[in-house]
Amino acid sequence: MSQPPALRDVTVLDLSTVGPGTRCARILADYGARIIKIGVPPRHAGLQIEPAWWAYGAGRGWLRARIDLKAPSGREAFFALAGRADVVIESFRPGVATRLGVDFDAVAARNPRIVYCSTTGYGQDGPRAQWAGHDLDYLAVGGYLGCSGRRPDGGPALPGATIADAAAGGMHAALAILAALLRRVATGHGEHLDVSVADGVLSLMALPADEHLATGVEPGPGSDLLTGRYACYDVYRCADGRWLAVAAIEPAFFANLCKGLGLERWIPHQLDDERQDELRAALAAGFARRDRDAWVAELGPGNACVAPVLSVAEVTADPGFAARRAFGDAEHPVHGRIRQVGPILAGQTPPSDTARVRDAASTDTDALLREAGVPPEHIATLRHDGAIA
């Protein structure tokens, strides 16, 4: 039996264009929230980053309004929408929303129930609050890069995904918003959420940080089981040049791995620090005898904690994700039919059929303002003045 969307009665105004705020909007939309993306009118084109047409689910299910927040009449149009909204997301540098006159206090004066989420790199206060930054910077200060694998020159390897934007930022913001909406049920009031992406990275790094605080140990590459100290937790090249991930932490799983490779004599030495180089070499030689997928077919279902290192192209064709209905179809007015990652997080509601996505230039500004009670003649004036588009 299908369930109604969890956030079907929640309206979100999103002032972000890319990054954590927009990642958050995508998550909330796929839980059923009504997302209204607010951008600048065409005359201010270039002031905001415009994402690629396919990014963030190609804007699947989003509504759009273009409002000039620097114009007094534009701000009033924004407040008309905010008065009926549940959530506002913004990603300005600290102080910018206040200078524009659309900060939490200004919105809450019109709508005391508003949950106002500010997403920034380093938070609304602190010594880095005004620093510019991107994903890699936040991973750097949060300790993630310090514990990551190394390049040949000894520097930290670049991550293969924008982990800070997606998890430490977007998911962090979505979780905070959901908690605030629940708290609002009890209090009747909204609140201002200060979502720092760097704080989110630190949360992701809590295990090594807590280890250091409790023991004085300095975690880093190769310092423990999860960062490469032991051969049972590593990646190995196969005969065809492709790679396998091995994470045989538990002794029983490591024994299964060794048996599958014909290396039973190494079972007692899983965590023997003096033998790790030899063990790693033995595993590498064993995996080099066969192609990746041959090993996957044998060891994957054999309780050996082995998985293929898939390219993005392989991921999109992977039968495991297909069985989980991870991808869906969408129809774009310019680019035609496309495949995309669908609402895959637990509890999200997948589209019942092909999702309809729109060209980014289209807007719903007039309809949304009419819905908010703005008279048609005032909307016409706003459009004539360039305050909306």
* 344-373: average pLDDT: 92
- 80 has pLDDT over 80: yes
Q: Which helix (H) or strand (E) holds 243?
A: strand 243-247
pLDDT tier for residue 351 given thresholds of 50, 70 and 90: confident
The answer to whether the beta carbons of residues 28 and 12 sit under 8 Å apart is: yes
Which residues are the active-site residues?
134, 165
**Domains (range + CATH), the chain:** 11-203+350-384 (3.40.50.10540), 225-237+243-308 (3.30.1540.10)
Core vs surface per residue 264-291: b (16+ CB within 10 A) or e = eebeebbbeeeebeebbebbeebbeebe
- Looking at residue 43, its pLDDT comes to 67
Q: Beta-carbon neighbour count of residue 93 at 10 Å? A: 15
Strands 191-196 and 63-66, by their bridges, are unpaired
| pLDDT over 70 at 1, yes or no | no
pLDDT digits (tens, 9 = 90+) for 360-382: 889 999 999 999 999 999 999 99
Q: Is 233 helix (H, G, I), strand (E, B) or coil?
A: strand
Residue indicated by tokens 């599958």: 260
Please answer whether residues 283 and 231 qualify as being in contact, where contact means their C-beta atoms are separated by less than 8 angstroms.
yes
pLDDT digits (tens, 9 = 90+) for 172-211: 999 999 999 999 999 999 999 999 999 999 999 999 999 9
Q: Are the C-beta atoms of residues 11 and 84 closer than 8 Å to each other?
A: yes
Phi/psi of residue 32, each to 5°? 105, 0
User: What pLDDT does 349 receive?
Assistant: 83
Dig out the tokens for 349 from the structure.
């509601």
Task: Compute the chain's Rg from CA coordinates.
Answer: 25
Q: Identify whether the C-beta of residue 355 lies closer than 8 Å to the C-beta of residue 328.
A: yes
Distance of CA 176 to the CA centre of its chain: 14
3-state class of 309 per DSSP?
coil
Report pTM.
Answer: 0.95
Question: How high is the pLDDT of residue 365?
Answer: 97
Going across the sheet that includes 243-247, the strands are 233-237, 243-247, 306-308
